[in-house]
């Protein structure tokens, strides 16, 4: 009996040590407990490597457990390996072979299941403070507590390989790897859809006046409108496509908590919504106000829709390179805006009664986000930093005009960028009106391969880091690749590349890619059921 339990005891002791230690050495350190981070940690641990997963928050799964239950797929056949396995595990919960729409707590339970099965130690509520590099290698990273007033002190991780699975690319940046923020010019990579894009999607109707007193510029601008001038299409800038929260609501009275007036509520923030409605009256909430997708058990995944909705346009520019304190402010601003948006629709007497009545049917689910007032803690960071790696994925890759020779995953979604700014433009009769800028939705292409070189730094840069989330892609190509199933695919690929680099004692830029592809396939065949 002792021999039967000894492996379990050794594994348990190692995990307990890694959870408590202030300084550790592991084979693979994964930073960021997003969906990609969980899959990367699981993949590396199942390959026999010692692993630690660092998650600055309290929960695993990122957006996949943070409200994005309506999976953006494009083409299911492009989703393979452990990523496809995730949707099969979710399916088992619902009695289906696969399930691509799901409740947040179900997704989180599946991610926790992966961690438990592989016995991966997770350091929750620790975030990156610094990275020490030498000879193009990350030697160690120092972590600080993400809890306010926590006296536990810093922790240090030394590893042979590091994988940055954060939505922000913090480890990549701290290690000195080249990256970009914002939109390249259309000419930089010969793309027609990059840079400024003034188009008609998720747009205001004609004639929405931007001024506090209509027709009176001296009265000032309504909340949320920028004073910036509209640049020609294709112009580069550092504007970041907008963030929002993906909302899980329920209409089940037994499980519903009413949407109440949030702290600091200011109804003037939603004046543009009234003016939009005055020009184009919605028949129901799903008609140009918000995008509802129903999840199991009377729940939703609500996304932005229309000119004025859940996207808080122009409020996220400081986020990618912001301090932790500044990011916390931005997250809180988005939370209060979002809660106020739904409260406004349901309670402001100026809203049409049929929309108020419909809104009041919905509320926060009692059984979701029970430690966060039933509101998702995960802001949808659609795009932050993007690595400038050994290869840059571009519009030509998405459209199949350029095919990479070293694929480690497939992407298939529409080139999708949400709006980046809200401006004043000249309408008919030279009258000022409000317009959004930056929304692009161009698809119609088949699945296409993502290059291994797009998840590694350039040669001559860091040799033991992989970046499967903030990967190397132009703004518009990233808009297609940036989907949760693809992040999980690339997370597994990054983990197997890290293992191969360790075993072959090579830099990530020098590993045998065909061998990597075989390892990914072999692990998928073994573990995906």
8 Å CB contact between 402 and 92? no
Domain spans of the chain, in order of start: 14-178+447-527, 187-383+417-443
**pLDDT (0 to 100) of residue 74:** 83
Q: Please state which CATH number belongs to domain 14-178+447-527.
A: 3.50.50.60
Report the mean per-residue pLDDT for the chain: 94
Pairwise CA distance, residues 197 & 243, whole Å? 18
**Residue 233: CB atoms within 10 Å:** 15
Pairwise CA distance, residues 307 & 87, whole Å? 33
8 Å CB contact between 176 and 139? no
Closest among 512, 422, 497, 437 to 467, alpha carbons compared: 497
Pairwise CA distance, residues 362 & 255, whole Å? 10
Encode pLDDT of 217-271 as tens digits. Answer: 999 999 999 999 999 999 999 999 999 999 999 999 999 999 999 999 999 999 9
Pairwise CA distance, residues 67 & 79, whole Å? 20
Encode pLDDT of 198-221 as tens digits. Answer: 999 999 999 999 999 999 999 999
- Does an H or E element contain 133, and which? strand 126-134
Pairwise CA distance, residues 363 & 140, whole Å? 45
pLDDT at 63 over 60: yes
> How would residue 9 be classed by pLDDT, with cut points 50, 70 and 90?
very low
**pLDDT (0 to 100) of residue 529:** 74
Encode pLDDT of 323-352 as tens digits. Answer: 999 999 999 999 999 999 999 999 999 999
pLDDT at 128 over 60: yes
> How would residue 150 be classed by pLDDT, with cut points 50, 70 and 90?
low
**pLDDT (0 to 100) of residue 75:** 86
**Cα 423–424–426 angle (5° rounding)?**
140
8 Å CB contact between 499 and 46? no
Torsions phi, psi for 258 (to 5 deg): -60, 150
8 Å CB contact between 251 and 362? yes
**pLDDT (0 to 100) of residue 147:** 86
Helix H segments across 69-103?
81-93
Task: Tell me which of 73 and 501 has the higher pLDDT.
Answer: 501
Encode pLDDT of 400-450 as tens digits. Answer: 999 999 999 999 999 999 999 999 998 887 789 999 999 999 999 999 999
**pLDDT (0 to 100) of residue 7:** 37
Task: Tell me which of 152 and 370 has the higher pLDDT.
Answer: 370
- Rounding to the nearest 10 degrees, give the CA dihedral for residues 450, 491, 331, 202: 30
Pairwise CA distance, residues 493 & 404, whole Å? 16
**pLDDT (0 to 100) of residue 12:** 47
Burial 146-166 (b: 16+ CB within 10 A, else e): beeeeeeeebbbebbbbbbbb
> How would residue 457 be classed by pLDDT, with cut points 50, 70 and 90?
very high
Portion of the chain with pLDDT greater than 90, in percent: 91
pLDDT at 155 over 50: yes
> How would residue 100 be classed by pLDDT, with cut points 50, 70 and 90?
very high
Task: State whether residue 215 is helix, strand or coil.
Answer: coil
| Three-state SS letters, 265-331 | CCHHHHHHHHHHHHHCCCCCCCCCCEEEEEECCCEEEEEECCCCCCCCCCCCCCCCCCCHHHHHHHH
pTM score, whole prediction: 0.95
8 Å CB contact between 412 and 75? yes
pLDDT at 14 over 60: no
Helix H segments across 360-403?
395-398
**pLDDT (0 to 100) of residue 21:** 67
The residues facing 295 across adjacent strands are 299
Pairwise CA distance, residues 18 & 51, whole Å? 9
> How would residue 22 be classed by pLDDT, with cut points 50, 70 and 90?
confident
């Amino acid at each position: 009996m002792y021999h039967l339990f000894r492996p379990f005891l050794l594994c348990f002791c190692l995990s307990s040590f890694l959870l408590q230690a202030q300084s550790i050495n592991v084979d693979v350190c994964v930073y960021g407990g997003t969906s990609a981070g969980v899959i990367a940690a699981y993949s590396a641990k199942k390959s026999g490597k010692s692993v630690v997963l660092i998650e600055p928050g309290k929960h695993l799964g990122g957006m996949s457990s943070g409200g994005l239950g309506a999976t953006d797929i494009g083409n299911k056949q492009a989703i393979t390996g452990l990523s496809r396995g995730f949707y099969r595990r979710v399916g088992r919960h619902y009695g289906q072979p696969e399930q691509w729409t799901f409740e947040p707590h179900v997704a989180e339970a599946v991610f926790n299941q992966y961690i438990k099965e592989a016995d991966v130690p997770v350091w929750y509520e620790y975030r990156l403070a610094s990275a020490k590099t030498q000879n193009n290698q990350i030697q160690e990273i120092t972590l600080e507590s993400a809890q306010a007033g926590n006296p536990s002190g810093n922790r240090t991780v030394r590893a042979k390989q590091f994988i940055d699975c954060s939505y922000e690319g913090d480890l990549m940046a701290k290690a000195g790897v080249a990256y970009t923020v914002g939109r390249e010019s259309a000419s930089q990579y010969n793309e027609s859809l990059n840079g400024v894009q003034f188009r008609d999607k998720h747009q205001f109707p004609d004639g929405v006046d931007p001024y506090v007193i209509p027709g009176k510029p001296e009265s000032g601008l309504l909340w949320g409108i920028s004073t910036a001038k509209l640049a020609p299409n294709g112009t580069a800038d550092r504007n970041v496509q907008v963030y929002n929260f993906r909302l899980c609501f329920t209409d089940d009275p037994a499980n519903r908590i009413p949407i109440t007036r949030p702290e600091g509520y200011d109804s003037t923030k939603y004046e543009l919504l009234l003016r939009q409605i005055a020009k184009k009256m919605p028949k129901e909430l799903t008609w140009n106000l918000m995008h509802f997708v129903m999840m199991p058990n009377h729940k939703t995944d609500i996304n932005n829709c229309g000119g004025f909705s859940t996207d808080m346009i122009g409020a996220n520019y400081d986020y990618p390179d912001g301090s932790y304190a500044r990011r916390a402010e931005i997250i809180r601003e988005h939370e209060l805006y979002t809660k106020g948006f739904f409260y406004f629709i349901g309670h402001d007497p100026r809203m049409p009664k049929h929309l108020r009545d419909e809104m009041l049917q919905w509320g926060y689910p009692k059984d979701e986000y029970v430690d966060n007032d039933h509101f998702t803690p995960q802001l949808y960071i659609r795009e932050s930093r993007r690595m400038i790696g050994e290869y840059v994925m571009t519009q030509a890759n998405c459209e199949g005009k350029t095919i990479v020779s070293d694929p480690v995953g497939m992407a298939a979604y529409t080139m999708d960028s949400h709006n980046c700014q809200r401006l004043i433009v000249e309408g008919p009769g030279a009258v000022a009106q409000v317009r959004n800028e930056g929304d692009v939705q161009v698809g119609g292409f088949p699945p296409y391969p993502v290059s291994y070189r797009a998840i590694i730094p350039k040669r001559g840069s860091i040799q033991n880091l992989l970046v499967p989330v903030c990967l190397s892609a132009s703004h518009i190509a990233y808009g297609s690749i940036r989907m949760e199933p693809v992040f999980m695919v690339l997370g597994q690929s990054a983990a197997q590349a890290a293992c191969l680099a360790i075993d072959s004692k090579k830099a990530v830029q020098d590993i045998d890619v065909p061998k990597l592809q075989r390892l990914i396939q072999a692990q998928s065949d073994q573990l995906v059921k």
